Amino acid sequence: MENFGDIRISRRDLFIVGAASATAVALPAGQSAAADVDAAAGGAPLRPPVAVAVSLLVNGTQWTGEVDTRTTLLDLLREHLHLTGTKKGCDHGQCGACTVLVNGRRINSCMTLAVMQHGATVTTIEGLGTPEKPHPMQAAFVRHDGYQCGYCTPGQICSAVAVLQEIDANVPSHVSPSLTARARLTVDEIRERMSGNLCRCGAYSNIVEAIAEVAGGQP
């Protein structure tokens, strides 16, 4: 059995050998993967991305354009329409920073494809109000200091507006007394319904106060 205990190699040589080994392994694998794809396609070249026409009513303005079928609604809003108020946080539907209203209901725009919302009415934070004429929820967030860094705030506000609409429509939540009981504005109700929107700055209590004020009273 060979004894490798006496092998001497400099750090520089180790890096050179490692890089060479990685290249030797990576290139054939990549070529093999490409060959497999070509074989699966019957030898034909890979197909380019597919683009389709999408039409949306965004913040009261009709928009129509060609969109890659892989484009999320979030990326369409930010990259095509330049509505950057809607934020990309986790990109996995877990933080709520990308919350917008679609046909009056809140959704995580990172979790739906733009083509799936063809013909929909979309409202982003820009469509709720303006600096000169803010939405009541936007004004309440300012008064109650419902934000710190502000990154999650657009999603928080869009979600908060939808929460009050849900309660008004008697949509039950996990803390509602029953499926048939009238939904009531309570701290627990607000916190449960807003639980999908994360605030890493910890402004939750102020957010609850802002929502309660807009609803017309303290829970």
Block mean pLDDT (10 aa), the chain, length 219: 56 61 49 51 73 97 96 98 97 96 97 97 97 96 95 97 92 76 84 95 96 81
Do residues 171 and 106 touch, judged by C-beta distance below 8 A?
no
**pLDDT at residue 29 in the model:** 46
Domain ranges of the chain: 1-47, 51-215
**pLDDT at residue 197 in the model:** 97
**pLDDT at residue 182 in the model:** 76
**pLDDT at residue 194 in the model:** 96
Other beta carbons within 10 Å of 185: 17
Helix (H) or strand (E) holding 65: strand 61-68
**pLDDT at residue 61 in the model:** 97
CA 7 to CA 13: how far, in whole Å?
12
**pLDDT at residue 25 in the model:** 47
Question: pTM for this one?
Answer: 0.77
CATH superfamily of 51-215: [2Fe-2S]-binding domain (1.10.150.120)
What residues contact 123, with CB distance under 8 A and at least 6 apart? 58, 59, 100, 101, 102, 158
Helices and strands in the chain: count of H runs, count of E runs: 7, 5
Q: Where are the beta strands (DSSP E) in 103-165?
A: 105-108, 121-123
**pLDDT at residue 184 in the model:** 80
How many CA atoms, within 13 angstroms, populate the side-chain half-sphere of residue 121?
A: 6
**pLDDT at residue 4 in the model:** 47
Nearest CA-CA partner of 156 in 116, 120, 106, 112: 106
**pLDDT at residue 175 in the model:** 78
CA 88 to CA 83: how far, in whole Å?
12
CA 200 to CA 118: how far, in whole Å?
33
